Structure 1
Amino acid sequence: MRNFINLSSSFTKEPAVIRRPPAVICYLCGREYGTHSISIHEPQCLKKWHIENDQLPKHLRRPEPKKPEIRSIGTKGYYDLDAINESAWNSAQSQLVPCDICGRTFLPDRLIVHQRSCKLKIPK
């Protein structure tokens, strides 16, 4: 027995939209996490940040980043996720350090590695 599909009806339907669950950006590393896992990630990320920062040369050490302030909208306790993510992303990007030679920005531990091979490009 053969199975038949009505092709005319499948073309008229709207394609199914797959919605991602809401994600929150970590203010330390700039990565996206789920709304429940961000509370697990942030303390671990901060601990890792302190370990890495303490291992840097003194001139590259940074002050501890401050968590962006979260304000609720209205009286129901809703939050503007886009505003939270934008301020967290800006916080993560502000921790990048520019290379003295080429001006590109890096995390401090990666800047040391980059500067070993960075050469001033002379325009032709």
Structure 2
Amino acid sequence: MHTFYHAFFSQRRPHHQLNLFLLSCHPLLLKKYWKRSFNSIEISYSSAYLGLFHYLPTMIRRPPTIVCYICGREYGTKSIAIHEPQCLKKWHNENNLLPKELRRPEPKKPELRTITAKGFYDLDALNEAAWTSAQSQLVPCNICGRTFLSDRLIVHQRSCKPKVAK
């Protein structure tokens, strides 16, 4: 990378070629620059072409996340240990407020510990099991059949109407 810059900038180039090279790295700036008097500029295509490939955006890697087996949301690998006890406590509080017929048994943490060839836990398999566990806790509406969290089912049933046959 250093040699590329050194090779390009060490040669004497007209000021407008240098600007074009720098602008080729940033398409939004190039768009603004293009609107100005572009016909008097000698374009160095090779340097602009190299500049575009030199600054291609790299793939952004997200940090690994783990799905909560209670609520189904994604959390970081460090914060899931903090979230799960709080989520379970909240689940118990909300479950106790529900009518007896809507109360659910306590969700069980999936014990899927698949280790990959490199010695790491298989996060995809763990997340799939946690997602399935979270989805299994949803309660179906007795009118339309859609599934909801227990506390949301009560709100839904206020406005749910049976389907009218056409």
Q: TM-score, normalised by structure 1?
A: 0.90
Equivalent-residue separation in structure 2 for 1:82 and 1:29 (angstroms): 17
Equivalent-residue separation in structure 1 for 2:111 and 2:93 (angstroms): 24
- 1:62 matched residue in structure 2: 104
Q: Which has the higher contact order (CA 8 A, sep 6+)?
A: 1
- Of 118, 121, 140, the match for 1:79: 121
Aligned length: 124
Counting only pairs closer than 5 Å after superposition, residues 1-124 of structure 1 correspond to structure 2 as 4-6=19-21, 7=24, 8-13=49-54, 14-73=56-115, 77-124=119-166
Paired residues of 1:96 and 1:105 also in contact (CA < 8 A): yes
RMSD over aligned Cα atoms: 2.0
* Unmatched runs of 5 consecutive residues or more in structure 2: 1-14, 25-48
Aligned structure 1 segments of 4 or more residues deviating by more than 2 angstroms: 9-15, 74-77
More strand by share: 1
Q: Percent identity?
A: 69
More helix by share: 2
Greater C-alpha radius of gyration:
2
- 2:32 matched residue in structure 1: none
* Unmatched runs of 5 consecutive residues or more in structure 1: none
Which deviates more from structure 2 when the two are superposed, residues 7-16 or residues 40-49? 7-16
Q: Are residues 10 and 120 of structure 1, via their aligned partners in 2, closer, same or farther at CA, if it must alter by over 3 Å?
A: farther
